[in-house]
Structure 1
Amino acid sequence: MPVIVISNPKGGTGKSTTSLVLATTLARHGASVTAFDCDPNRHLVAWKDGPTQNKVEIVGHVDSSNIARMLKAEASRQQFVIADLEGTASLMVASAILAADLVIIPTQGSAMDASQARRAISFIDDQAAAVGPRPYRVLFTRTKPGFATRDERVIRETMAGSGIPIFKTDLAERAAYRSMFTFRQSLEEMDPAAVNGLDKALENADALAGEVVENLRINRQAA
């Protein structure tokens, strides 16, 4: 089943948050999911060591010598496999991209983030030159619903004009996403009285997961 990797060479773009939100949302809807924590900070491993009862499985013991094999092995038994990659253009990242059915590139609406997103795309294209196209899509993160800065609008328009595929759904700025790491629970497990905007976060997470699944379906049909 599909392998989804979350990649951007810049830190702080929301890779771990995207990975956790997507993995736990798919699991909440009944899918079997394994998430690989390839970030040296091990945010997903720390989350799983908390009180969560979400069924997503977390794997933290990977390196460049085994990442591709482990991703494919999990894909043979799980409905979804997600990899939260380290923030660098490394051999591990290259191996994971080669094994991916979809690469998600999180970016915020700033020139620095956009520059690194383009660097990630160039890295993907380099891998594709050897083995064929690697489907990818840019995901804007930490956006404010109903409001976009001028910088963000310009960046979106420039990317779209260059033919870069962008998710219609953003991963919005929500306190609930930060609280997932604080309380080490998934969205549906947290107390709405203790976490602001939990309902909106659940709605956003569902929309993103649905669009990811639809993209995977379209890519598979095209192949």
Structure 2
Amino acid sequence: MPVITFANTKGGAGKTTAVLLLATELERMGFRVTILDADPQYWISRWRENSGDRTKVKVVPYVTQATLEKHIQDGKREADYVLIDLPGARTPLLAKAIGYSNHVLIPIQGCSMDAQGGAHVIELMQYLADRGNIHIPFSVVLTRVNSMVTTRALQTVKALLAERRVHVMDTPIIERSAFRDVFDFGGSLHTLTTASVSNLGKARDNARAFADEVLMHEALRQQQRQGQLAALRAVA
């Protein structure tokens, strides 16, 4: 039961949108999903209230540092995937959530402020690896990318990440009105209608490609883990 944490210490990076897109696409594929809502804005919890019976995604609101471990353990028993939506700020909850994670996704917009917020998370991940020998896979996902224009700021962010040898997901999350509308209407991209939302088909394709890439990453991680266990057995 993988635990995937979404983290950026700057708010407005598209973190909660990425959580929602992944959760609803995983549900559409037949997976059981639990979201732990630790963001004090509680956008995911509000979305769940608006959704009613149009989704079976479980959202646990008001998650704190004190209750995180219990909620993760409960989520692992009940769901195939546990997603954690962290606050857009530096808090002790960040390090604790990362410690329980199988993969950390760092949403970053193509601007320097977002890059700095993401850098705080990346620095923490690298510190855990260097000082604590705690190696947790992490990836940057570029968010709110303009589908028509590649900005100089976005190129700067990509270059900065490349210099630090940070893995960037191939699938960016494009700026789409449907991604905002789903929070207002509830449900998922697949319960919205083309009559009320523009470019819905492209939004669905983008969300599916993003979820597919996350699943591919998880499959590779499992293969690597099995290979490590097989090597240890052979030595023993």
Give the TM-score category using the shorter length: over 0.9
Query: Aligned AA for 1:44?
Result: I
SS in 2 for 1:137: strand
Counterpart in 1 of 2:142?
A: 140
Q: 1:118-158 CA deviation, whole Å, 9 max, x = no partner?
A: 11111223344335101100010000225311221122123
| Native 8 Å contact 2:50 2:184 kept in 1 | no
Counterpart in 2 of 1:200?
A: 202
Counterparts of residues 177-216 of structure 1 (less than 5 Å): 177-216=179-218
Q: Residues 130 and 177 from structure 1, CA distance in 2 versus in 1: closer, same or farther, beyond 3 angstroms? A: same
Name the CA distance, whole Å, in 2 between partners of 1:77 and 1:217: 20
Counterparts of residues 59-208 of structure 1 (less than 5 Å): 59-128=60-129, 129-130=131-132, 132-208=134-210
Name the CA distance, whole Å, in 2 between partners of 1:73 and 1:132: 24
Q: 1:98-125 CA deviation, whole Å, 9 max, x = no partner?
A: 0000000000011111122111111223
| Native 8 Å contact 2:40 2:62 kept in 1 | no
Name the CA distance, whole Å, in 2 between partners of 1:72 and 1:167: 28
| Bigger fraction of residues in helix | 2
SS in 1 for 2:82: strand
Counterpart in 1 of 2:50?
A: 50
Deviation at 1:24, TM superposition (A): 0.8
Unaligned runs of 5+ in 2: 226-236
Counterparts of residues 19-30 of structure 1 (less than 5 Å): 19-30=19-30
- Is residue 19 of structure 2 the alignment partner of residue 6 of structure 1? no
Q: 1:38-74 CA deviation, whole Å, 9 max, x = no partner?
A: 1101101111111441111111132101212321331
When normalised by structure 1's length, the TM-score is 0.95
Name the CA distance, whole Å, in 2 between partners of 1:100 and 1:194: 37
Q: Identity rate of aligned residues, in percent?
A: 33
| Native 8 Å contact 2:143 2:172 kept in 1 | yes
Q: Give the stretch that moved more between structures: 127-136 or 1-10.
A: 127-136
Name the CA distance, whole Å, in 2 between partners of 1:46 and 1:186: 14
Q: Give the stretch that moved more between structures: 126-135 or 208-217.
A: 126-135
Name the CA distance, whole Å, in 2 between partners of 1:80 and 1:218: 16
Name the CA distance, whole Å, in 1 between partners of 2:61 and 2:89: 17
Instruction: Give the number of the structure whose alpha-carbon radius of gyration is greater.
Output: 2
SS in 1 for 2:190: helix
Unaligned runs of 5+ in 1: none
